[in-house]
Each structure stands twice: as C-alpha cells, then as structure tokens.
Amino acid sequence: MSTVNRETPRPAAGRAGIKKELPDHFKDYRHVWVFIELERGHVHSVSFELLGEGRKLADKLEVQLAGVVLGPPGEAIGNAIAEAFAYGADIVYIVEAPLLADYRNEPYTKAMTDLVATHKPEILLLGATTLGRDLAGSVATTLQTGLTADCTELDVDTDGSLAATRPTFGGSLLCTIYTLNYRPQMATVRPRVMPMPQRADKPVGRVIQHKLSITEDEIVTKVLGFLPDSQSATANLAYADVVVAGGLGLGAAENLQLVKNLARAIGAEYGCSRPLVQKGWVSADRQIGQTGKTIRPKLYIAAGISGAIQHRVGVEGADLIVAINADPNAPIFDFAHLGIVTDAIRFLPALTEAFTRRLSPHNRDKLAS
C-alpha cells in the first residue's frame, strides 16, 4: 500500500491571492469625497490640499469630486462651501446643525456615516489632524471599512482601487495598502504632504443638504467651554518658507544652538530629526518627519541628519534641500538637491557668519522670495 502526500495549495502571494470582486451591495459606490475640516469658523488648509489630490483621483476614475462640510448654521459654513468649489469640488454635501458648533465625535460620526450610507462614495479622504484622525477612525469602525492613516501618496490602481502609500516598520519602508472588498476606501493625509492646488473663483455649484439625526440627549460628551492652546503658535514649521534642522551629527545638545543661530540669521524656523526629540534635546513640536511635522519650505537646510525614510517623507516636498553631513554615504544625499560633505559643527558657524555679513535685517525676510 502506497501513501501519497498531498500538500495543501498555498494561496497566491500578494494581491493575486485576494478576491478582487466587490460584493454586490458595494458596486454602486462611486465618486471621491473630501472632508472639509471646519472648526471654530476656519477651514483647515489640509482640506484644500486634499481637494487637489482628490481631483486627480476623480479624474482618473471619471467620477465627481465632492466636498463634505459639517458645521453650525452661519456665515462660516457658507464660506467653507464656496472655498470647496473654488478648490475644485464638483458638488458639496452639508450637514448643518447647532449640535455641530464644537467638534464632538458622536454627532460628527453620525453625520458622516449617515451621509456615506445615503450617497455611497467609493473614496473618502480626511486630513490627519487631531480632529481628522479622531473622526476617521470612528467613521471607519462604524462603517466596518478599511482606513489607511498618514499617507504620503495616493493613486488609483488599474482595477480602480485606491492605492494608499505610507511608511511602515518605524519609517524604514514604504508600503502601498488597498481596501479591495469594502467601501468607502478611506485614507488620511497629514497637512503639507500634498501641494496646495490653484484656487479659482467660480460660482457655487450643487449643494446637497442632509439632516443630522441625533439629539443632544443622545450625546455623552458635553462642551463646557473652549480654552485655546497657548503653545499652539510656538513652532510654525509646517508653513515656514525656510527651515534649518539638526540631527545626531551635531553630537551634543548644546550644539543645537548652532542650528538656532543660523535660523535666526536667515529668518528661518528651526527643527530637528526624531532622535533629538527622543534624547530630550528638543521639544516634540520641533520634530520633522513622518512622526513629526511635514514641511514644504522653499529652502530646507539639514545639518547632521542621516535622512532615513521617516524623515525623507516629511521634507521631500521642499523646493531646495541642502544637506550637510560628514558621512558621504548618508541617505540624505540621495534626495538632497545640494550636498555638502563636512562636519556640520564646524561648517554651521562659518555659514551663519557668511549669511550675517551678506544679509541686512531688511533682506533676511526676502531670502525665500
């Protein structure tokens, strides 16, 4: 009697082993939506950046681009609607109710999930802000769909699936994530990761209103008052035109003063890489990279920073990157526009002195112009 060993066939690796056919009840989900983050009368600029990216996705899919505005009745919501059209939206969905005057997870989640269930978008994008992250997670959980957080690139695959790319394994790799069998496909993107699209004044288009189906009695959280963050304006890295940053190549905490001196000389903001925050040399609001701030300055000077992927994704939108590093094989030289192989500790004082001699206080403000 012979025995035949039969191995159980292994599923194909990667996407080939995943069922691509959408369930029937998801097949009528269409269009790209962008959440327009309106808080205390102001629209967060990441919303406009996402409209620019959403426009590209919608054009590839040959569908409409929609903005979603949630907020209280008043002038602010009208302005948000007008701005959504000015930055490329074809249609705007709104939920307007006094209960949405302050952000609370329950009414905002209810408003968004009801909108999705009624109008069925295939893609939903939100800014990876404090508000956006909180809302995105609860919406995805309620809808039982996939959410890819802190994306650095968005695209549409050949079969129409959203390809959302983000760093993984501590920022050492980039991976592309797909939500193949669920809708909507959700992603968050941090401010300044995507470029700001061109604004164009145009008439307000089609606006679809939806009623909020939740009452105050059903909401657990209550707003007792609002206290603005007194530290919120201490670092404006994300929107600075010129940024100087230091890394482990500085050697010691006191050498960070060399970075600050250069920043002061050229009218720049200063920042750092993640290891300096981990060492306690710099506060977290000055960290640049995937786990810190994403920047898009006209000039970025990196001193003693190796340039790991998690740092790269936070700075590669800069118009000009100047890298100063003693290691000629440092990864930062792979994406810097200008590389200087030297000891940053010796080079920074000389560079600061040169700028100080050349730039008058009047001209420093014009360095990035």
Residue 176 has pLDDT above 50, yes or no: yes
Q: Tell whether the model's pLDDT for residue 2 goes beyond 70.
A: no
Mean pLDDT value across residues 66-71: 98
Return the minimum-mean-pLDDT range out of 41-45, 119-123, 125-129, 309-313: 309-313
Integer-rounded Cα radius of gyration of the chain? 24
Contacts of 54 (CB under 8 A, 6+ apart): 32, 33, 34, 65, 88, 123, 125
User: Which is higher by pLDDT, 257 or 235?
Assistant: 257
* One fold for 21-218 and 233-368: yes
**In whole angstroms, what is the distance from residue 165 CA to residue 177 CA?**
6
What is the torsional sign of CA 67, 68, 70, 74?
A: positive
Domain boundaries, the chain: 21-218, 233-368
Which residue positions form the known binding site for FAD? 273-274, 287-291, 304-311, 325
Query: Which three-class secondary structure state does DSSP give residue 97?
Result: coil
Between helix 105-119 and helix 130-143 the angle, nearest 10°, is 50
Per the annotation, where are the binding residues? 273-274, 287-291, 304-311, 325
pLDDT of residue 174: 84
More confident residue, 111 or 290: 111
C-alpha span between 38 and 32 (Å, rounded)? 19
323 pLDDT higher than 50? yes
Residue 362: pLDDT over 80: no
pTM of the model: 0.81
Quick one: which of 207, 201, 281, 219 has its CA closest to 248?
281
CATH architecture group of domain 233-368: 3-Layer(aba) Sandwich (3.40)
What pLDDT is attached to residue 310?
86
User: Kind and range of the H or E element at 61?
Assistant: helix 45-61
Query: For residue 248, what pLDDT band results from cuts at 50, 70 and 90?
Result: very high
> Residue 170 has what pLDDT?
64
Across the chain, mean pLDDT equals: 90
Separation of alpha carbons 289 and 165, rounded Å:
15
What pLDDT band is residue 360 in, cutting at 50, 70 and 90? low
Measured between alpha carbons, how far is 315 from 350 in angstroms, rounded to an integer? 24
Q: Which candidate, 61, 164, 67, places its Cα nearest to that of 122?
A: 61
> Whose CA is closest to 311, among 331, 337, 288?
288
Q: What is the pLDDT of residues 25-34, one digit of tens each?
A: 898 999 999 9
Maximum CA extent, the chain: 96
Nearest to 34 by CA among 10, 16, 15, 58: 58
**Distance, CA of 135 to CA of 154 (rounded, Å):** 20
Residue 70 host element (H or E): strand 65-71
Query: pLDDT (tens digit, 9 = 90+) per residue, 9-26?
Result: 444 445 445 556 788 889
Q: Which residue has the higher pLDDT, 276 or 14?
A: 276
Cβ(118)–Cβ(210) under 8 Å? yes
Q: Is the pLDDT of residue 4 over 80?
A: no
Domain 21-218, architecture per CATH: 3-Layer(aba) Sandwich (3.40)
Per the DSSP assignment, residues forming a β-bridge with 126 are 188
